[in-house]
Amino acid sequence: MADVLAAARAWRDQDPDAETRAELDGLLSRAGEPDADADAELAARFAGRLQFGTAGLRGALGAGPMRMNRVLVAQAAAGLAAYLRERAAGARRPVVVVGYDGRRNSRVFAADSAEIFAGAGLDAVLLPRLLPTPVLAFAVRHLGADAGVMVTASHNPPNDNGYKVYLGGDSGGAQIVPPADAGIAAHIAAAAEGSIADLPRSDAYETAGEEVVDAYVSATAAVAGDAVAGAAGMVWAYTAMHGVGWETFARTLDAAGIPRPVVAAAQIEPDGAFPTVAFPNPEEPGAMDLVLEAARAAGAEFALAHDPDADRLAVAIPDEGGWRRLTGNEVGLLLGARAARAASGTPGATLACSLVSSPGLRVLAERHGLGISETLTGFKWISRAPGLVYGYEEALGYLVNPETVRDKDGVSAAMAVLALAAEARSEGRTLGDLVTDVSVEIGHFASGQVSIRVDDVRVIADAMAALRAEPPTAFGERTVATVTDLLDAPDGEPTGDILRFDLTGGARVIFRPSGTEPKLKAYLDVPGETAEAADGAFRELEAAVRAVLPA
C-alpha cells in the first residue's frame, strides 16, 4: 500500500485540476486502517493506467492513471507530439488539429492538448467550438494535418470521456491502427515518467475559422444530391440525444434545401449530463423514446437520431400502428444498395463492412460487379479498404462519403437517408418500402446480437477461453461446418479476439468482447427463403447461443 500512497501523492502534486486534486486528497486522508474502502479505491485507480490502443483512450472521469483527467491527457498529448516529431524526422513542423464535444471536461482536455502540442513545436489548430467527431475527421484531411485528436467518449455513459487519434498522410485521416498505436503508447509511457508540470506549453496555437465547418457542411450537403426535390412537405423527427450534432446538421439541411425536422426539444442542445437518457446510445432500449413521442405527435414519416458526437445514426419508421427502430444492418444495407447502384460496374470500387455485419453486403457487391472487403470491427479498418466507395458496421456506423471523411459519419449518413426518403416520397413510397426492396433483391437475412454485460471483465476472458478450448460442434439443430479463430490469423493479416462459427445452411455465429464496454457479444446471421422463415430460424439459433454464454 505504501507504493500506492506514494504514487497517489506524486500524481496529486502534478495535477493542475483542483477538483481531481481534492478527490485524491480526500482518499489519501481516509487511507489506512480507518477506511478500507479508500484503500481499495486508491488501489483500483493506481493499479495500472488506461491503455492507449487503436481506440485511443476512453474511461471514467476522475483522478489517477486509471481514469480520464488532465494529467493523463497531458501525458497523451506529450506522447503523441513526440511520436509526430519522430515521424517528421526533421521535415516540416507537424500539424495537428484538435476537436472536442460537449462532455464534461472535453473543452479543457482539448485546450490542454493544443497548448502542449504548440509547446512541443507543432503547429496546433483547435476547432472553433464543440463540434461532431466527423468534423474533426474531415478537418484532418481538409487542412492536410499530420494528425487529429477528438476529445469524446461518443455514446458512453455520462461520466466517461475519451481521446481519439487520427493520422493524416498515408492514413488519409483515418483512425490509428497498429503499429502506430504501440508507437504512440511508448512515447506516452516515456512522458509519464516525468511530471506534466515540466512539459513546455504555449498559447501560440491557432483557432480554426468557420471556413473549416463551412467546407464540411458544403461537402456533406452534396451527399443528398438531386433527390431533395422530393423533400418538399416532408415531415420527420430528430434528436441529437443531448449531443453536438444539431447545429452542424441543421446548417447542412439548410444548405441542401431539406426541410428542418420536428425535434425532441429536451434533447436538442448539448448537455454532458444527458439528463433524459440512462445511456446516451440510440441502440439502447428507451433512448429514442422522446424523438418517437415527437414523431407520433407530428405525424412524422420517420425519425432520425444521432449519438452524442454525431458519428452514428439511428433510423425509426412507423410499423403496424407503432414505431420500429431499424437495425444497423437494415440501414447499412439500405445505404449499401444506394452506393452500389451509384458505383455499379466501376473497376476497383469496393463495398466494405466489419465481419460481424450482415453477409447481405457481399451479395449486393456481387450483383453490381463491385469488390467486397470484410474487415475487423471498427472504422479504422473499414476506412482502409482499397477502392472504398461505402462502408458500414452494424453498430449504427456508416461511411458514405469516403473522399470527405474517412470515418463513420452520422451527419452524411443522415443526408443519404433523407435523400432516399425524399426520392421514395416522390414515388408515393416510404423508407419501409425501400428496406423491403433490398431484402427482396438480395434475399432475406435475419441478423442480430446477443450480449452479456459483466461486472468482472475476467468473465469475458474465461468465456472466450472456454469456447476455444472446447468449441461447440453444433448450435441447436445446426452443425458447425468451420471454426475460424482470428487470434491465429496468418502473418500480415489483422488479428483480433474473435471466434467465427460457420454453420450448415449458411448461418453463422461470431463471438467477440466489446472494445468499449464490459460486454461479451455474439453476432448471429441466418438466411431464409422468406423474412418469416429467417426470423424463425434466428430465434432458434438465438436460444442455442444463449445456452453457451455465461449466465
- In the block, cell 488519409 appears at 172
Please name the helix (run of DSSP H) or strand (run of DSSP E) that holds residue 332, with its range, or none. helix 328-343
No. of H helices and E strands in the chain?
17, 22
Q: What is the CA radius of gyration of the chain?
A: 24
Residues 6+ apart with CB under 8 A from 314: 282, 283, 288, 304, 305, 306, 307, 325, 326, 331, 396
Select which of 106, 113, 154, 373 is catalytic: 154
- Cα separations (Å) of 454 from 313, 346, 391, 458, 497? 26, 46, 30, 9, 17
The dihedral formed by the CA atoms of 537, 538, 544 and 550, expressed in degrees to the nearest 10: 180
Q: What angle do CA 86, 88, 92 make, to 5 degrees?
A: 140
Q: Give the pairing of strands 350-354 and 371-375.
A: parallel
N-to-C CA span, the chain: 35
How many residues does this entry show for the chain? 551
User: What would the grid cell of residue 307 be?
Assistant: 449519438
Concerning whether 514 is annotated as a catalytic residue, the answer is no
Indicate the burial class of 518 (C-beta count within 10 angstroms; 0-12, 13-18, 19 or more). Answer: middle
463 grid coordinates: 468465456
The backbone region for 241, taken as left when phi is positive above 0, alpha when psi lies in -120 to 50, beta otherwise, is: left
Q: How many CB atoms lie within 10 A of CB 310?
A: 30
The residues carrying an active-site annotation are 154
